Amino acid sequence: MEKNEATGAQPLLFPKPVFHNKIWGGRYLHDEYGYDIPDGDVGECWAISAHPNGDCTIEGGPYDGRTLSELWQDEHELFGDAKGDRFPLLIKILDARQNLSVQVHPDDAYAAEHENGSLGKRECWYVLDCKPGATIVVGQRAHDRAEFAKMVEEGRWDDLLYSVPIKRGDFFMIEPGTIHAIQAGTVVLETQQSSDVTYRVYDYDRVQADGTKRELHIPQTLDVVDFSLPLPKSGDVTAPEKDGVTVLGTCPNFEVERVRVAEGSPARVPQTHDFVCVSVVHGEGGKVTTPAGSWDLRLGSHFVAPAGSGDLDFEGDMELVVSWPEG
């Protein structure tokens, strides 16, 4: 769909997801979302990404066949006044058939210095599905670097790691420096900075197909763990819902909202930001209409509403996760 000349509105951008095989992944992304995924254990759907490790190609419209990173560089007016030398967000769905490794991410300053100018990795999780009794690791109990190092060396993981029970609809903000791990039987939508820097602390002594173990990053972990972070009691969303919209989380890099759309109860998302990322995470789907036109949506649809798209009017039966950059 071309830019609407009558209204001047930009059309929506629909990236083609990129999938990554992971030792801990499964087939949920195919079985539940209907994605055409590679053979084997697939753990990650990079749904909206301009990162070099998974740069999405736009499908349809005037930018068909171009990557999101190309648009950021060459058609930057699509992203308003958004700053930076790269598209700042990365939206994923993670299927943890088995436990992910216990890990931690650096902040911007550490990543820029030690990871070839990368962004740091602040992220958040919205729990889409989980098995009964599932838990998630989101924090640790050591008080300082020396105590943490000693507990790791002694393998005292039950003493060190802090876990909480989870349920569908829970939300967690994962600050840089947070020890964390998604556990088996859990599917999350992850909104994060556009970074692929992960420091692995513990991987359950798992062996890969080639007989090797995945690399651990203990020195980097000791550098970046933030011992001042509070331990969450739960992932309960306590913010009020207004006209179907709930603010899930706000941080220096992004804001994330949940939008519920029901038959006969349409919802409007104002597009007053540099750009907005939208993911259909539950429901049968429906339609989104802007001044540039209308698009059909289904479970697993993802799109970017660029600057100048106009407000987003949704109808149908679906739950959305919506995010945009801050700062």
- How many Å apart are CA 188 and CA 279, to the nearest integer? 12
Q: Which of 200, 260, 268, 298 is catalytic?
A: 200
- Answer yes or no: 200 catalytic: yes
Question: In this structure, what token pair is assigned to residue 190?
Answer: 């992850």
Residue with tokens 């001047």: 8
Return the closest-CA partner of residue 292 out of 277, 310, 276.
Answer: 310
As a whole number of Å, the CA-based R_g of the chain is 20
For 157, the enclosing helix (H) or strand (E) is: helix 157-160
Task: Evaluate whether 256 touches 326 at the Cβ level (below 8 Å).
Answer: no
**Helix %, strand %, coil % for the chain, to 5?**
15, 40, 45
- How many Å apart are CA 56 and CA 194, to the nearest integer? 13
Return the closest-CA partner of residue 184 out of 284, 35, 43.
Answer: 43
Which residues, 6+ apart, have CB-to-CB distance to 141 below 8 Å? Answer: 159, 160, 161, 162, 231
Return the closest-CA partner of residue 81 out of 323, 309, 312, 307.
Answer: 307
Active site residues: 200
